[in-house]
Structure 1
Amino acid sequence: MCVIKQKKFCFSSLLIAFLLLAMLVGCHQEKSAGASSPNVIIIYTDDMGYGDVSSFGGDLLPTPNIDKLAEEGLKLTNFYVASPICSPSRAGLLTGMEPARWNITSFLHTKKANREREMVNYLDPNAPSMGRLFKNAGYATAHFGKWHLGGGRDVDNAPMITEYGFDEYSSTWESPDPDPLLTAKDWIWSPEDSIKRWNRTACFVTKTLDFLEENKDKPCFVNLWPDDVHTPWVASSDDYSAPRTTKWSYENLKLVMQEYDNQMGRLIEGIEQLGIVDNTLIIFTSDNGPELVDHADRAHGMRGMKWSLYEAGIRMPFIIKYPGVVPKNTVDSMSVVSALDLFPSLANLLQLEIPKDYESSGEDRSEVFKGKPSTREKSLFWEYGRNNTRFFKYPEGANRSPNLAMRIGKWKVLINDDGTRLELFDLFEDPGETVNLKDQYPDLAGQMKKELLTWRKELPELE
């Protein structure tokens, strides 16, 4: 009998051990990405203005495919990027932190130009990264398109894109390892490129769809960062030798925008054909305002442009689509949301584990994405033009803003870091920033000025 009891005891022990192991495995699977975790695609357009998208009131030309995305998701009309120019805007999106905290305040250039503008040569690979956030959660990760966070020109020691948490990548000249099919010469594009300028977005969309198909057994996170609609607008081989007036013409812009919208349609159709449309979260926006605002109404009546802290330089069209979670065909004109918020918001929305020592400059706005408008708790801050040295094509006249800005609620204040040019605007009543209210509301203007200048003094200086 003892032998029989011993056998029963052993069987029971094995059964208990098996159940405990199954429970532990189950707990681990709940913390890691599984088949039900959604794919995430962030489309970061280059230099697209608020008025370039017809569903945001633009009249440049119809954008039916981007508009379809808006109809199937949520539009935010008060979405802001971290900077009015590419590199710091991209650093802010990727890290969820104000780019100046990583000493990136303008577009990354040569070592000499970076030093003159008090900047590093590349984003610190130890900085927080959404690529790493998703990779650590079990996602397959990829970056396809413009990088501009280090590499190019004479910066030959920039970290590889994989060091920021991306498994796979293909990028343009302003990156540490540009795709040779896109960069036959040491410049942004050339007639000798195997993949021509007007086919680059198509190339990045193809790579995105291939990556999704190759990784069907796990969720994917993809940065899809095309370099359309950046100037010059090269719509065909004829434009390579065309004069500057053609490459910067309204007609060429329309052709580039039309092809860009077509490729957004191909992306949406490809996702549908893969059978993953209901389990894919798509974000569509732009990195900063348009370079040229004399073509139609690319700024949609707002003041400013690229390189400016007025609204047209930093307020972008924003669409988020996630079936069953994000409401369809909805417009939120109340909630103020920043690109800095995407890191904590996506982490919360998708239950991803944020590093314990992570300190976001943004805030969790996941409830806004679920269709619940709310006021913002944190102020938003911007800096552009730290020392006025080599800040490329800084706009003149009415579009040239002071070099610091702040928004809280409906109020926005701008000022130079030396205390000059104080401006206060009510963005609810005056989105075009035409009436300076600093004299009507001196206490408010003074309070916001103090908070903004204090923020600027706390930013790190380049060593």
Structure 2
Amino acid sequence: MDGTRLARLLAGIVLVLSLLPVFAQRRAGAAQSPPNIIIILTDDMGYGDVGAYGGRFVPTPNIDRLAASGLKLTQYYSGAPICSPSRASILTGMQPGKWNFTTFLDSKKHNKDAEQIDYLNTEAPSIARFFKHSGYATGHFGKWHMGGGRDVTDAPGFVQYGFDEHASTYESPEPDPAITATNWIWSEKDSIKRWDRSRYFVDRTLDFMKRHREQPCFVNLWPDDVHTPWVPEPETGYAGKSPVKPQEEAAFKGGLKEYDVQIGRLLDGLHELGLAENTIIIFTSDNGALPTFGGKRSGGLRGSKLSLYEGGIRMPFIICWPGRIPANRTDDRSELHATDLLPTLSKLAGVKIPESYHGDGVDRSGMLLGKPSLRKKEMFWEYGRNDVAYNYPKNNDRSPRLAVRSGEWKLLMDADGTRLELYNIVKDSAETTNLEATEEKLTKELSAKLVAWWKSLPKLGDN
């Protein structure tokens, strides 16, 4: 090699070496860029509603596309079998009973009869508040149902829970006029019609993220689909029938089909904004389906909304984060609870949790990043403190009022120690074989833990 070529080669090597710190710095900067987070909390979606979970009602190609891009869990549990306490568990990362949430919020009389509060105490921790304090822009678009509506006119506003922007339904402290023309959940007078609500919430989400592209965003996208009533667009109808009654299966199929379309619009919108690669998307449901159309919407699980059987609390759960969370995988064994989302998402996003915070959730970030593991902490539930203000599913779907999941075992019982039911939930997810009589030692151990947990919860009126 002549001297000129050698000099050029050495100069090139020197140039590359000089640029390595710059490249490394850029890579580190990209790795340290906090991810956007969108929690899609579907309303009353059963385990069997989604194609990726075996659903056969209508194709759900866009939800299935999300599953193909991420991780699908089959052992995810909501915090309650009904909306208000379930939502509180996600927001606070705590058992909802600790904040006197026991069923859906309604009128003050109903709430008192149900032995619960009228709205979430602003002293409660909030995942949105934690993310906001770490520099995130925070938005809530969709159903709230943790205070406000009916005769509860003194519920705190969204800003007190850490949200910068919001657009919500009637069951909130600050209902959006576009979807609450009258003092009720929906109305023909609404400028945004019932069948266009999910589109509206998706549009608000994308607009919010577009306006905050230089800032990480935390968004609750909590539509009120696929909760009844299912109101199809009058011009089209569904299944060749018009009008369609808002409680029948044909109307549900139309609502689910349109909801899936809007999930696709969200995914496409994020790609168009250049935000898809660094956005964590979670797709799940607040509680089980009702009606279930003969159990079909529960996907082979026993029970429904209002029940502590699996059909009421085991929900579809999909999480996607391109390049970080393994794509097109299913984890059939790792348990995840709604209270785990706060510590888990905080860890993934590098958000600091205050030292004063003592939640009930567990950091499951390692599991979501591709390392399956069992949850080393029991999960507890309650539903139904009396027979005055609680709805219960009928017949075989009505569960005892308390439940605990410990490893592969699940025990249900009433607070007075009766109606004991023990299931190996891994081998018997349909809860068909009660092993309480043959597993006496385990039943005694778990029932003692369940009673102790129940007694530890504050009761309305406690000082």
Report the Cα offset of residue 296 of structure 1. Answer: 6.9
Identify the residue that residue 384 of structure 2 maps to in structure 1.
385
Report the Cα offset of residue 245 of structure 1. Answer: 7.9
Identify the residue that residue 329 of structure 1 maps to in structure 2.
328
Retained in 1: the 8 A contact 2:34–2:350?
A: no
SS in 2 for 1:51: coil
For 2:381, give the aligned amino acid: W
Identify the residue that residue 417 of structure 2 maps to in structure 1.
419
Identify the residue that residue 3 of structure 2 maps to in structure 1.
none
Identify the residue that residue 57 of structure 2 maps to in structure 1.
60
Retained in 2: the 8 A contact 1:96–1:361?
A: yes
Structure 1 unaligned regions, length at least 5: 1-25
Retained in 2: the 8 A contact 1:50–1:315?
A: yes
Identify the residue that residue 5 of structure 2 maps to in structure 1.
none
Report the Cα offset of residue 237 of structure 1. Answer: 3.5
Report the Cα offset of residue 209 of structure 1. Answer: 0.4
Identify the residue that residue 409 of structure 1 maps to in structure 2.
407
Identify the residue that residue 337 of structure 2 maps to in structure 1.
338
SS in 2 for 1:401: coil
For 1:88, give the aligned amino acid: P
Identify the residue that residue 229 of structure 1 maps to in structure 2.
226
Change (3 A) 1:82 1:243: farther
Deviations 1:362-401 (Å, cap 9, x if unpaired)?
A: 111011110111011110000000122211x311210000
Identify the residue that residue 440 of structure 2 maps to in structure 1.
442
Retained in 2: the 8 A contact 1:182–1:196?
A: yes
Identify the residue that residue 19 of structure 2 maps to in structure 1.
none
Paired with 2:111 and 2:31, the residues of 1 have a C-alpha distance of 42
Change (3 A) 1:433 1:88: same
Identify the residue that residue 282 of structure 2 maps to in structure 1.
283
Report the Cα offset of residue 159 of structure 1. Answer: 0.2
Report the Cα offset of residue 184 of structure 1. Answer: 0.8
Identify the residue that residue 304 of structure 1 maps to in structure 2.
303
Paired with 2:136 and 2:285, the residues of 1 have a C-alpha distance of 24
Identify the residue that residue 293 of structure 1 maps to in structure 2.
292
SS in 2 for 1:247: coil
Retained in 2: the 8 A contact 1:35–1:218?
A: no
Identify the residue that residue 116 of structure 1 maps to in structure 2.
113
- Percent identity of equivalent pairs: 53
SS in 2 for 1:254: helix
In terms of mean alpha carbon deviation, does 337-346 or 293-302 score higher? 293-302
Report the Cα offset of residue 217 of structure 1. Answer: 1.0
Paired with 1:35 and 1:151, the residues of 2 have a C-alpha distance of 39
SS in 1 for 2:254: helix
Paired with 2:396 and 2:301, the residues of 1 have a C-alpha distance of 11
Paired with 2:169 and 2:226, the residues of 1 have a C-alpha distance of 14
Residue 153 of structure 2 is aligned to residue 159 of structure 1: no
Retained in 1: the 8 A contact 2:234–2:243?
A: no
Query: How many equivalent pairs are there?
Result: 431
Change (3 A) 1:388 1:327: same
Paired with 2:315 and 2:232, the residues of 1 have a C-alpha distance of 24
Retained in 2: the 8 A contact 1:59–1:296?
A: no
Paired with 1:287 and 1:245, the residues of 2 have a C-alpha distance of 26
Identify the residue that residue 217 of structure 1 maps to in structure 2.
214
Paired with 1:452 and 1:123, the residues of 2 have a C-alpha distance of 25
Paired with 1:385 and 1:199, the residues of 2 have a C-alpha distance of 34
Q: Structure 2 residue aligned with 1:457, among 443, 455, 460?
A: 455
SS in 2 for 1:114: helix
For 1:158, give the aligned amino acid: A
SS in 1 for 2:117: coil
Deviations 1:178-227 (Å, cap 9, x if unpaired)?
A: 00110011110011111000000000000000001000110100000000
SS in 2 for 1:381: strand
TM-score (norm 1): 0.91
For 2:430, give the aligned amino acid: G
Paired with 2:225 and 2:67, the residues of 1 have a C-alpha distance of 19
Paired with 1:54 and 1:406, the residues of 2 have a C-alpha distance of 29
Report the Cα offset of residue 356 of structure 1. Answer: 0.8
Change (3 A) 1:68 1:34: closer
TM-score (norm 2): 0.91
SS in 2 for 1:413: strand
Identify the residue that residue 17 of structure 1 maps to in structure 2.
none
Report the Cα offset of residue 34 of structure 1. Answer: 10
Change (3 A) 1:217 1:388: same
Retained in 2: the 8 A contact 1:90–1:287?
A: yes
SS in 2 for 1:50: coil
Cα RMSD of the aligned pairs, angstroms, is 1.9
